[in-house]
Amino acid sequence: MRGRFVAGNWKMNGSLAANAALLQAVSAGTQSLAGVECAVCVPFPYLAQAAQALKGALPVLGAQTVSEHAAGAYTGEVSASMLAEFGCRYVLVGHSERRSIFGESDAQVAAKFVAAAGAGIVPLLCLGESLAEREAGRTEEVVGRQLDAVMDTAGVQALAGAVLAYEPVWAIGTGRTASPQQAQDVHAFLRSRVAARDAKVAQGLRILYGGSVKASNASEIFAMADVDGGLIGGASLVANDFLAICNAARKG
């Protein structure tokens, strides 16, 4: 069956001193998590520090975005091959903050997905609807469109080596979590959307839930049939909270 996976997204947080303590604690606490893969997605300047601290063990290293371009005159951007050189195994693509604040389109997210996969980095594709979209009953339309953009560009087989993260925008950093059933409903929808193209890929696809996951609510969310783990923002900055969530994934 699908393995459990918990990824931390530090977003734009951290300092050399704070990271050293956090990486040390998280690394020490994740070595014995049988059946749960853990990752931390750190800001670009800290990739080298994190790679050094984690030494190829758990949690594995990830980044938070990637350029869709391979190289060239793209000031400020970071390519997938650069991330690979620093030992990144995962990269978030299409996080809602990238889509809404930095204007990333579905097509651009799909191109980033392809660039990451082409460099041997597992894309962690984020999907999610806004509050207005949910209230208008458009959740499936929105996440379906976001998913189709990637499947149309990369092909459904590309999802065999990827991870999805359903992150309702209204639940991110708000303390307002989707109910376990709300998460399950969207996860099942996403899996069926993939299954319509390839049942085997859909069956093996890990789909994480993200949005105000905490130690106190992780177990009930991870207990749902189509939830394979979590993408954790704020709580990934506190070692004990992140470790408790990783442990909940093991038990759930």
Q: Which residues bind ligand 13P (CB under 6 A)?
A: 9, 95, 167, 172-173, 210-213, 231-235
- What's the min distance (Å) between Cβ of 133 and ligand 13P? 17
Q: CB–CB of 159/151 below 8 Å?
A: yes
Give the integer Cα–Cα distance in Å for 159 and 150. Answer: 9
**Cα(115)–Cα(30) distance, rounded to whole angstroms?**
29
Q: Are 156 and 190 within 8 A, CB to CB?
A: no
Q: Which is nearer to ligand 13P, 27 or 96 (CB)?
A: 96
Identify residue 190 by its one-letter amino acid code.
L
Q: What is the gyration radius of the CA atoms in the chain, in angstroms?
A: 17
- In terms of CB distance, is 91 or 235 closer to ligand 13P? 235
Pick the closest to residue 8 from 168, 246, 186 (CA basis).
246
Tokens linked to 39: 């990752």
| Residue 169 CB, nearest approach to ligand 13P (Å) | 9
Identify the DSSP state of 211: S
Q: Which amino acids are annotated catalytic?
A: 95, 167
Question: Least separation, in Å, of the C-beta of 57 and ligand 13P?
Answer: 23
Instruction: State which residue, 151 or 235, has the beta carbon closest to ligand 13P.
Output: 235
Measured CA to CA in angstroms, residue 146 lies from 26, 70, 90, 136, 238 at distances of 32, 23, 19, 17, 31
What is the Cα 12 distance to its own chain's centre?
A: 15
Identify which of residues 68 and 167 has a Cβ nearer to ligand 13P in the complex. Answer: 167
